[in-house]
Structure 1
């Protein structure tokens, strides 16, 4: 683990599902606890269920939209926690992503995804395309959880088990996120990003 060049990177962990009965918040909290152990990162959890987003895109941004976009703008990088629904990611996540625009630019994005069988692979691949269009840099390595994966799935409290493979995946993704985060932060300080 590399130390930050000056201040820890501000990383927003975005809980991408708002469904009743979701496990996204549990998976996100599990991940945020592990990421929070790093001295080079400062973790903030942004749970989309805590925002009163409008049902349709309004003419003017609502206070919740502005608050979310402000949190995105203040972060140096992101980790999106998402389920895979029907080989994609939730509409609530796409809506929230669209509420910010310039705030995503020239920042790194990592993924923690879950599902059954594919471990969220299809959701991650679609999110890579969306964030690429927003001029964000997505991490090659990501954390995938197969929630129906038998004894390696969830523990008795409904949290992902800390397997060696999962902990290695978290470390690899966060190492990449920290490198890109420091590099892109220095670049934005030296010269504003032009899209």
Structure 2
């Protein structure tokens, strides 16, 4: 005879815990002639090989947001807001402009608050000699203020235009793919842990 106390509650928790993480991949550059699509396309192909992630790319160039932050609702931001709210984790793809990250990305962050809370964020950066890492360090400070958790390992492309072939493939894939696996492994651990924590007790409640 089956003991009913060993069935539904435990199996329900296991299913929820094992479900793929919904990861919003936020593409932060909107500049004309941007290199972002090359980096984003590579990352999305790379991350799609994992069965523990469900990817949702949000390209800010395709989703213009209001540049006036106010307490009033922003209907034009509703789609992006909903997708950020539904995410379990984020990966931000950013270039480095003048030692920091792009203004449209800061705007997208500032227009939201609870959508970031108690969720992990990973980074893929690109640029010149610094590989976008100064932009990443600034983003860590900003996202900490929003109660997000940034993972340690990042993917960075130094002199990014020299890293990709004309078809968008990596010329030397070993280092970026190794860094990408480490970053996504950390994102997955934090994503599952924080998702479970939010289900048990809403953050800030």
> What TM-score results when the alignment is normalised by the length of structure 2?
0.87
**1:161 & 1:56 partners in 2: Cα distance?**
41
The residue number in structure 2 matching 1:177 is 187
Which residue is 1:69 aligned to? 81
Aligned length: 190
TM-score (norm 1): 0.91
Q: Deviations over 1:152-192 (max 9, x none)?
A: x1212355445211100000000000000000000000001
1:147–1:154 Cα contact (<8 Å) kept: no
Are 1:102 and 2:114 an aligned pair? yes
Q: Which runs of 5+ in 2 are unaligned?
A: 1-15
Q: After superposition, where does 1:42-53 map in structure 2 within 5 Å?
A: 42-53=54-65
> Is contact 2:42–2:168 with CA below 8 Å preserved after alignment?
no
Match of 2:199 in 1: 189
CA distance in 2, matches of 1:26, 1:63: 30
Partners of 2:73 and 2:39 in 1: CA distance? 30
Unpaired runs of 5+ residues, structure 1, are none
The CA RMSD measured in Å over matched residues stands at 1.7
Q: What are the superposed Cα offsets for residues 84-139 of structure 1, whole Å, 9 maximum, x if unpaired?
A: 01110000000001111011000000000000000111000000001100000001
